Amino acid sequence: MKRVLFRKVLFSSLTIACILLIALELYLSRVVRNNYISQIEESLLIQSRLIKEHIPSDLTSNLDALCRQYKEKTGARVTVIDGSGRVAGDSDESSEKMENHSDRPEIKEASVTDTGRSIRLSNTVHKEFFYFAVALGGSPDRGFLRLSVPLHDLETAISNIRIRIAVSSFIALLAAIILGLFHAGKITRAIEEITRFSTAIKSGNFKTRLFVKEKGEIGELAKNISAMAQELKVRLEHSQKEQHKMEEILKNMSDGLMLTDIEGRIFLCNPAVKKLFGIESDIEGRTLMETLRNAELMDVITEALGKRETVAGEITITYPKETYLLVTAVPFSYPPESGNISGIVLSLHNVTRLRKLEDVRKDFVANVSHEVKTPITAIKGFAETLLDGAIDDRENAFKFLQTIKSHSERLNFLVDDLLMLSRIELGDIRIKKVNVDLNEIIDAIFTTLKDKAAAKGLQLRKDIPSGIREIKADRNRLIQILLNLVDNGIKFTEKGEVEIVARCKMQDTKKGPGNCNLPLATDFIVITVADTGTGIPHHHIPRLGERFYRVDRSRSRDLGGTGLGLAIVKHLVKAHGWGMQIESTPGKGTAVMIVIPQNLTFP
């Protein structure tokens, strides 16, 4: 990791230290210089007061010797100037050769304030001097006494001071840098550790831990970040659990659920929707018209958007199969406080079974009414005829009574069959499975129906392999099942035969049907009752087994059926835990197959 923060801290510390060093040097140099000059000025003022008392009032004579005398005592250059600016005496040069000094800054200042000072380059000796002048006798007209000292010593002293300041500042700077580097290193290492920790958390690695030894604000920051990461982990895990739970709920819902925007674009769709509409590709991100193409569904959505309230409606789809759906469209707003509709939540509930049950109920009510009304009407009519006097006609009265008896028996059969169905559905009839001899049962059924079959010239045949001796079933209910099936075969067969065939089959297709050498729990017996009658059109087969459902209503009623025999067979087969399948070819006959899974018993 690049230690960018460390370099920034180091560079900033060095820059600030250098700036402070330069500022300190400039400040101290100026302070030292000003202080030194102030001391020189004060010293020269004292010396000038002592010297001017010994300067004669008449400045016409040469005073060079006097000036050299006082220079030896004070060490400063001494110059006496009269009121006109002429040099009357000088300790370093011949006064006669020196030019007029009336224009010198210190002389001008002294002529106004009695004292004057200046720092400048001497025109005579070409060195920088500090000049201090005072008016003689308190009056500028008498002249001026000027003392001057070179500033060479001052510059040397300032240079020495600067060197000492630089050395001490460098040592202090070096110590500050070392101390700064130590603390900066600790801080940057802590921050780098926090950075690595936050990077790991960002990538989803919540197993990492943050260990920072730094105290103070950095340590507190590290503790807060570590605590925040743990809290984030807990909340993220909770969110993932909730999301997974929601996904599983949506995935396993039997009802379809979709979320769309106001333009019909799908944001969310569960698998049930795809299953209902026979869609295999992903439809999220596409529009409803593009994917589902159902005008009734779009009408429900349009109505919900227009009314801004929940709207429910029933739609019909034909692919992959005819299905009736109850669609509920609920507008929603996001955020909720905005008040603007953001989209629609669609729920699709499959009501096909309810519609079919409703149709069955309607048919049942209509069929029961019709089946009951016919014999009741006949009984009532013949009874009224007898009451009106026909009872005295013994020959016709006997016929009428026979008709009333026939219709009452028909009503009795109808009620018995309905009660039987009701008892089966309510579980009042208990199926008690025992080992029964299939050959014996079939022979008993053929004995019961042989006269009926012989009357139509039909043969009753059986084909039971020797390997199938016994099956587990309720004896009386099995007789009822086979008796109804054989009776139906006789009713709807004009010529040929009715045959009962039993075969042992296995789920291992390599062994083939009829292979009963191994008594496995997965083996099953198929008992088929086949006839050579008129057959049943294919579109009627799914409804066979419904109460009162007849393929040919008039012919079936003429044959004496109640329309409940196959329904009773279907329910008894189901009560045994078996399966039933019907195959038929118009003009060739019908075969009803009873599939019986069980452990087989062999000789």
Judged by DSSP in three states, 462 sits in strand
Residues 472 and 580 in one domain: yes
141 C-beta neighbours (distance < 10 Å), count: 11
Kindly report, residue by residue over 46-86, the tens digit of the pLDDT: 888 888 888 887 777 888 888 888 888 888 888 888 888 88
Structure tokens at 108: 């001008």
Residue 166 has pLDDT above 90, yes or no: no
Partners of 580 in the beta sheet?
594
Write out pLDDT tens, residues 6-58.
667 667 777 777 787 778 777 777 777 788 888 888 888 888 888 888 888 77
Q: What confidence tens digit (pLDDT) does each residue in 186-203 have?
A: 777 777 778 888 888 878
Token readout for 249 is: 């709920």
What was the pLDDT predicted at 421?
Answer: 67
For 515, residues 6+ apart whose C-beta sits below 8 A from its C-beta are 504, 506
Of the pLDDT bands very low, low, confident and very high (cuts 50, 70, 90), residue 601 is: very low
The mean pLDDT of 392-407, rounded to a whole number, is 78
Q: Both 529 and 463 in a single domain?
A: yes
What's the mean per-residue pLDDT of the chain? 80
Scanning 100-215, the segments in alpha helix (DSSP H) are 105-113, 152-202
pTM assigned to the model: 0.47
Instruction: Give the pLDDT confidence score for residue 59 in this predicted structure.
Output: 78
Query: Which of these ranges, 82-86, 404-408, 437-441, 504-508, has the smallest mean pLDDT?
Result: 504-508
User: For residue 515, what pLDDT band results from cuts at 50, 70 and 90?
Assistant: very low
> Does the residue 96 lie in any domain?
yes
Residue 511 in 3-state DSSP? coil
Select the more confidently predicted residue: 3 or 151. Answer: 151
Structure tokens at 117: 């000072």
Lowest mean pLDDT among 295-309, 392-406, 455-469: 392-406
| CATH code for the domain of 385 | 1.10.287.130
Domain end (from 294, 320, 350): 350
- Count of positions (residues) in the chain: 603
How far apart (Å, rounded) are the C-alpha atoms in residues 88 and 73?
20
Please report the pLDDT score of residue 64 as a whole number. Answer: 86
Strand 266-269 and strand 256-261: the pairing is antiparallel
| Final residue in a domain of this structure, among 251, 280, 304 | 251
| pLDDT at res. 511 | 42
What pLDDT does 507 receive?
56
Say if residue 116 is in the same domain as residue 180: no
Query: Do both 513 and 580 map to the same domain?
Result: yes
The residue out of 191, 219, 251 marking a domain boundary is: 251
Same structural domain, 557 and 414 = no
Q: Is residue 441 situated within a structural domain?
A: yes
Does the pLDDT value for residue 185 go beyond 90?
no
CA-based radius of gyration for the chain:
63
Average pLDDT estimate for 165-171? 78
Q: Structure tokens of 24?
A: 């300190």
State whether 397 and 507 are in the same domain: no
At 499 the pLDDT is 93
Give the amino acid at 414.
Answer: L
Strand order in the sheet with 144-150: 87-90, 77-81, 144-150, 128-135, 115-121
Give the 3-state secondary structure of residue 435.
Answer: strand
Whole-angstrom Cα distance, residue 356 to residue 352?
6
**pLDDT at residue 517 greater than cutoff 50:** no
How much is the pLDDT for 600? 42
Q: Stretch 579-600: mean pLDDT, rounded?
A: 85
Q: Are strands 589-597 and 256-261 parallel, antiparallel or unpaired?
A: unpaired
User: 603: cis peptide before it, omega within 30°?
Assistant: no
pLDDT band at 113 (very low <50, low <70, confident <90, very high): confident
413 phi, psi to nearest 5 deg:
-60, -40
Helix (H, G, I), strand (E, B) or coil at 590: strand
Asked whether residue 194 is domain-assigned, the answer is yes
Rounded CA gap, 207 and 200, in Å? 9
> Quick one: tokens of 400?
């009428």
Q: pLDDT tier at 512 (50, 70, 90 boundaries)?
A: very low
Which has the closest alpha carbon to 25: 154, 151, 163?
Answer: 163
Asked whether residue 193 is domain-assigned, the answer is yes
β-bridge mates for residue 349, sequence order: 326
List b or e across 535-562, with b for residues whose CB sees 16 or more CB atoms inside 10 angstroms: bbeeeeeeebbbbbbbbeeeebbeeebb
Q: Which is more confident, 370 or 578?
A: 578
Instruction: Quickly count: other Cβ atoms within 10 Å of residue 522's Cβ.
Output: 10
Show the beta-strand stretches assigned E in 179-334. Answer: 256-261, 266-269, 311-317, 323-333
185 and 241 belong to one structural domain: yes
Predicted pLDDT at 368: 67
Predicted local distance difference test score (pLDDT) of residue 329: 94
Question: For residue 45, what are the domain limits?
Answer: 1-53+153-251
Measured distance CA(93)–CA(126) in Å, rounded:
13
Residue 125 within a domain: yes
111 with 93, same domain: the answer is: yes
Q: Residue 348 above 90 pLDDT?
A: yes
What is the pLDDT, as a whole number, of residue 530?
A: 93
For residues 437 and 533, membership in a common domain is answered with yes
- Residue 598 near residue 524 (C-beta atoms within 8 A): yes
Question: Is residue 283 within 8 Å of 261, Cβ to Cβ?
Answer: no
| Residue 238 buriedness (CB in 10 A; 0-12 / 13-18 / 19+) | exposed
Tell me the C-alpha distance between 573 and 555, whole Å.
Answer: 26
Minimum mean pLDDT among 263-267, 393-397, 572-576: which range? 393-397
Q: Express each pLDDT in 282-294 by its tens digit.
A: 888 899 888 888 8
Q: Which residue has the higher pLDDT, 407 or 309?
A: 309
CA 486 to chain centroid, in Å, comes to: 62
Q: How confident is the model at residue 431 (pLDDT cuts 50, 70, 90)?
A: confident
Is position 603 within any domain?
Answer: no
Give the H/E segment covering residue 562.
none
Q: Convert 63-109 into a string of H (helix), E (strand) and C (coil).
A: CHHHHHHHHHHHCCEEEEECCCCCEEEECCCCHHHCCCCCCCHHHHH
In terms of domains, do 170 and 240 share one? Answer: yes
Rounded average pLDDT over 432-440 = 89
Question: Cα–Cα distance between 101 and 121 in angstroms, integer?
Answer: 14
Q: What is the pLDDT of residue 32?
A: 75
CATH number of the domain encompassing residue 499: 3.30.565.10
Q: Which of 67-76, 150-159, 508-517 has the lowest mean pLDDT?
A: 508-517
Task: Using DSSP, state whether 307 is helix, strand or coil.
Answer: helix
Q: In this structure, how many other beta carbons lie within 10 angstroms of the beta carbon of residue 411?
A: 17
pLDDT at 519: 39
In three-state secondary structure terms, 344 is: strand
Bigger pLDDT: 562 or 570? 570
How many structural domains comprise the chain? 5
The answer to whether position 602 is within a domain reads no
The answer to whether the bond into 519 is cis (omega within 30° of 0) is no
**Co-location of 321 and 460 in the same domain:** no
28 and 76 fall within a common domain: no
The secondary structure of 363-410 as a DSSP string is HHHHHHHHHHHHHHHHHHHHHHHHHTTGGG-HHHHHHHHHHHHHHHHH
pLDDT at 520: 39
558 in a structural domain: yes
